[in-house]
Structures are given as structure tokens and as C-alpha cells.
Amino acid sequence: MLEQGLKGRLALVTGAGRGLGHAIAEAFAERGALVLAGDVSPPVALPDRLDPIGPRVEAIPLDVTDEASVRAAVQLVVASGMGIDVLVNNAGIMYKAPVEETDLESWRRVLDVNLTGAQLCTKHVVPVMKRHGRGRIISIASMTAAIGMETYSAYSASKAALVNLTKVWAAELATAGITANAICPGWVDTPMAADAFVAHLARIHGTSPDEARERLLARVPQHRFLDPREIAHTALFLADDLAAGISGEAIHVDTGLVATFAAGLHRPAG
């Protein structure tokens, strides 16, 4: 069994204040990494949410859409004399609307957070990684990057672009000892993913949340939502030295949804 060697290494995780980002920050800290948990939430709110992790996590204010904020977070590390070994581009938001009802401001905001935010963080972290001759860039995309789902135009576009951006980074940074990969989760049991979509289904079909949840799970090959720790474990693997040969990949952790969707066997409700 492979051991993830992260002791003493530093990971910057964006969108770490809750949900999937929290799970990823926790997993890295438990494996011995020092974690900068960035989030737009006020820093006074983050330690309470991250308290179970312990002292290996430092919560910092970070707005991935603000280049000055990103620069300040990276400079904090540089000033300490440390490098950034792992960047997890996790910060993201969701917006759902039929194409003819799409609000332009909401569209731009989704792309700004989900896509431009990852670009800005990578832009400022890469020079630090290059100086240390090693780095892992892990971006959280989505299964919606590979399939068409009604009302998800802005979110799907941002995640599909993030997958292709990952391939560009992999090509550009290959000789610098830096890998770039994307993880494409299916329905994860987090407030933004599972809970939000279940509520969306309940509204559309006029059912209770429990009924909507069962309706959704009936279309999922493994009939379950993913545990956030499953995505975190995938990120841990990609951060390991023994994953150096994996770069430019979009790894689906989706309980078989994309494969069966493409085969026409399963189609998300709604």
C-alpha cells in the first residue's frame, strides 16, 4: 500500500472554509502537510470550522477573483521561507438556469470564481514551485465538464474550460517537475452539490427533499452520494511523489455517472 509522503510539505487549498475544501484541507493535514486554508469568509470564522484538523492548518482570507488577494497569500508563504508544494484549486460556485433565462452577471461570476480564480492562483504559485523544482496543481472540476446537463450552462462551461486549462498547464510545466491534474467529482454529499441539487429537484417536481433525493439516487449507478473524503483521498494520491507520471488528466470520481450517461443508461432527473 502506497504511503502519501506529505510530512513537512505545504499545501494551499482554496475554498477551504466548508464542504469539499474543508475535507481536502483536513486530509492533507492528517497526512502531515502544513495547510493554508484559503476562503473568502472572514478569517475569524474559519478556525471554528477547521478546529478538528488541529494546529497544522492556518486559515487565511483569500478571494481567488482578486489578484491582489492571491498575491498576498502567496507572498505570505514566500516571506516565511517555505515553498508551496501543492495547490488545490477548489474554490467554486454554482448557478443553474435555462439558457434563455441566464443572468449575465451570474454567468460572469461563475466563470470568474471557477475558472479565472484557478488561473490566478496557478499564475502566482507556479514561480514558487519552479524555484523549488517540484509542484502539484490539483483542480477540482466536475463530471459536468464531460456531459450536458440541463440548466448547468455556466457551471459546465467553467468546469470544461478548467479541464482543458489543466492540460495546458501540464504541457507547459512538465520540464519543471510540476504536474497538473483535474478531479471531476460526481454528486458529492456537500451543501453545494448534493443538497442544492436535491432542493432544485424538489422545487421542479413539487416533491419533498427526501423524495427528490431518492429520485436522484435511482439514476446513480452506485445509488449513493460520494463522501467528500473520497475526493480528498484522490487529491492525496495526486500529491504524492509516486504520482509524478500522472499529468494532464481529468480523473472522474463519480460512481460511474459519466460512463453510464454516455451509454444512455442513466440520465440525471430534472
Q: Which domains does the chain have, with CATH numbers?
A: 10-188+227-256 (3.40.50.720)
Beta bridge partners of residue 87, listed in sequence order: 12, 137
Active-site residue flag, 155: yes
pLDDT, residue 50, reads 46
Whole-angstrom Cα distance, residue 247 to residue 113?
Answer: 23
Residues of the chain with pLDDT under 50: 1-4, 44-45, 48-54, 265-270
Whole-angstrom Cα distance, residue 199 to residue 92?
Answer: 19
Query: CA triplet 137, 143, 145: central angle to 5 degrees?
Result: 75
pLDDT, residue 220, reads 84
pLDDT, residue 44, reads 44
User: Catalytic pick from 28, 152, 155, 169?
Assistant: 155
| Residue corresponding to grid cell 487529491 | 235
pLDDT, residue 198, reads 80
How many CA atoms lie within 13 Å of 2's alpha carbon, on the beta-carbon side? 13
